[in-house]
């Protein structure tokens, strides 16, 4: 069965444009025009991916994203007319996987959807439990703890930590991280930087140590501490 996409936007022209191109590319589409309807539709239909506008009525896109992230790991692409970097980064910090700004090219939207779905369905197999020093990552329980104290992470931060910790002591280039987590290339550079920054801060707060090291000009390394 073709994958199901939920498009959430209060602008009918945007919804029609996205729906038409998605359906032409063999996706099934359901839509919602406000945050409350979006949550109800997501819970009922269980979409494979959500395209979510930031500025929607009733419950805004940021809050919808936060609620969905507590309930599901469904991939989310934030759709926004706000071009400022702070708004894009805010979307990533609350759990969105990618963003695209309006006006957008339908081809670019389809490319982002396909890339994100490839990453989700084709992610590399990582160990169920990873232990590095006093840090433990349990994929089955979807938990991270340092010295037994839990650390709350977004889904992207969790996947990034899994990848880095499973290669503890070794340098992973930006390209390797992007390939393993997204299945695409340089268009995700900014989001990787944002996730690394947020993840590093949370780990430092829990451990009082710099667990993720930047190897300038190359990539990142998880320290064996």
- pLDDT tens readout for residues 175-219: 778 777 654 434 445 577 888 999 999 999 999 999 999 998 888
State the Cα torsion 74-101-16-114 to the nearest 10°: -50
Enumerate the domain spans of the chain: 4-121, 129-222
Please state whether 165 falls in left (phi above 0), alpha (psi between -120 and 50) or beta: alpha
CATH topology for 129-222 is: Arc Repressor Mutant, subunit A (1.10.10)
Average pLDDT of the residues in 115-132: 74
Among 47-51, 118-122, 161-165, 205-209, the range scoring the smallest mean pLDDT is 118-122
- pLDDT tens readout for residues 215-224: 988 889 998 7
Q: Which CATH class is domain 4-121?
A: alpha beta
Sheet holding 143-146, edge to edge: 129-132, 135-138, 143-146, 149-150
């Amino acid at each position: 069965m073709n994958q199901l996409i939920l498009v959430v936007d209060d602008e009918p022209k945007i919804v029609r444009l996205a729906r038409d191109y998605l359906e032409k590319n063999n996706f099934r589409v359901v839509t919602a025009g406000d945050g409350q309807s979006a949550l109800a539709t997501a819970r009922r239909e269980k979409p494979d991916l959500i395209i979510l506008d930031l500025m929607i009525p009733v419950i805004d896109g940021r809050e919808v994203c936060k609620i969905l992230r507590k309930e599901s790991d469904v991939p989310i692409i934030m759709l926004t007319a706000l071009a400022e970097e702070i708004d894009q980064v805010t979307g990533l910090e609350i759990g969105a996987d990618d963003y695209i700004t309006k006006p957008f090219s339908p081809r670019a939207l389809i490319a982002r959807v396909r890339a994100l779905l490839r990453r989700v369905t084709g992610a590399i197999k990582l160990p169920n439990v990873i232990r590095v020093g006093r840090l433990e990552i349990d994929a089955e329980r979807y938990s991270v703890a340092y010295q037994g104290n839990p650390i709350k992470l977004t889904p992207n931060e969790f996947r990034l930590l899994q990848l880095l910790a499973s290669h503890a002591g070794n340098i992973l280039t930006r390209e390797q991280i992007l390939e393993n987590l997204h299945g695409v290339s340089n268009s995700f550079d900014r989001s990787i930087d944002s996730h690394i920054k947020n993840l590093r801060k949370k780990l430092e707060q829990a451990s009082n140590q710099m667990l993720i090291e930047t190897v300038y000009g190359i990539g990142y390394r998880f320290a064996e501490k």
